[in-house]
Structure 1
Amino acid sequence: MNCSRHEEREAVGMCVRCHNLICEECKVEINNKYYCKNCVSEMYSDNNYYNNRKNNYSNKTTINSDKVKEYADKAVNATVEVTNNTLNLVKDFSESEDFKETINKVSQNQKVINYVLGIIAIVLLIPKVINNINSIPYFFDELVFSTRYYGVFRTVFYIIEFIATFIEPIIIIALATLLFNNFMRLKREIRIVAPIVVVAAFTLIRFVSVNIASSYFGFSIIANMFSYFIPVILIVVGSYFDKE
């Protein structure tokens, strides 16, 4: 396995921030953890701050349970707030006169609307599935290095994070297909709430897992949640239209 930046050089570790393989030249060791130079530049734009931390490189990294709890609490609060805001928006819009007028206009073409919304949602989600499939080879490379440098405990959470990332869009696609045919026989109310709950739950699982596995605050996990906003809204609206 070779360095992600220098393909001719053998990798000596994996950046805990971006998960790229790094060689001896690319690595920067901070608190017994390897970072690539790009991540270090992003993390420490202030050179004085970076220099002040050099004396702490030899300190052994430990998993701080208080920090994990803090991250989990922040993730829960963020996901609950987003979920409540989304539900309130849907509720307010559903009670408006414009929405009622729209319902009357599309009631005769309910199935057509559902098919269109479902197809758009699936098209938006397919790139996520393809990207996850393409990342499988890199996952096994990183898994080896994670086990070697960070131990079995952190590796387990790394695996959990990858699995959650892989199956989340598949579950949302399955919920979108219910707009074509309710093969699961789920009640309309459940189909309306399900995509919101799935995204919130998987965001929480991934957020906690990646912070334990890599020991850094994974803001990208929270940002990724918003990439599901449009498909989820389409599924919610389509499920609301569906009277079956």
Structure 2
Amino acid sequence: MYKCCIFDLDGTLVNSIYAIQRSVNLSLEKWGMRQVSVDECRVFVGDGYKKLLERALEACGDSKLEHYGEAVNLYPEIFKGCCMYRVKAYDGIMELLDFLKENHIKTAVLSNKPHPRTLDNVEGVFGKGRFDLVYGEREDKGIRKKPSPDGVWALMEELGVDREEVLYLGDTNTDMRTGKNAQVDTVGVTWGFRDREELEAFNPELIADHPVDVVRYIKDVNGIE
């Protein structure tokens, strides 16, 4: 029986691709580089902003990453002002969260996004208190970024749940590896930033095309009418 759902943020709970694209492009403007597309950003994201910038710089011609150090310092300030740009919950997410609450299933968010910006997105879209716990990147506290299982295990300990009681949901190969590394059941969602083929390669317990698929799956596992 599932007693807790842990959600990735970007591409799973919220569509934040336009905020990310805008922040990357405003950063690249400093060196007169071309603008990156939404489709490019969908591939660049998932492993934290430093890896995002590395991929964007390489794609725009900075193969030696000469601007990487400066970009890493510049991006967080730009992103602070852009992190809510056109960000919204995916269709069906509110209903899924309502279902979980009604059935006393705990909810948490685990993102590789900087922790303050994770809070900005979650509270800006869902309000305060919608989730039991919300965590962004916390490597300064010794918790490694996804796909390390550290974040999932830390949330499990705080929420008082065991591995067999947890369902982890995400939209990228990083998320699928996170779930597998944490040894928890995993759901790949196709409404986010990556395609079904990428998710299926990891054989998650469920591939969901809409949040209602997650509701049906949990009802079946937990024996909810």
TM-score of the superposition, structure 1-length normalised?
Answer: 0.23
| Structure having the larger proportion of residues in strand | 2
| Higher Cα Rg, which structure | 1
Name the structure where helix makes up a greater proportion of residues: 1
Greater relative contact order, per chain length (Cα 8 Å cut-off, separation 6+): 2
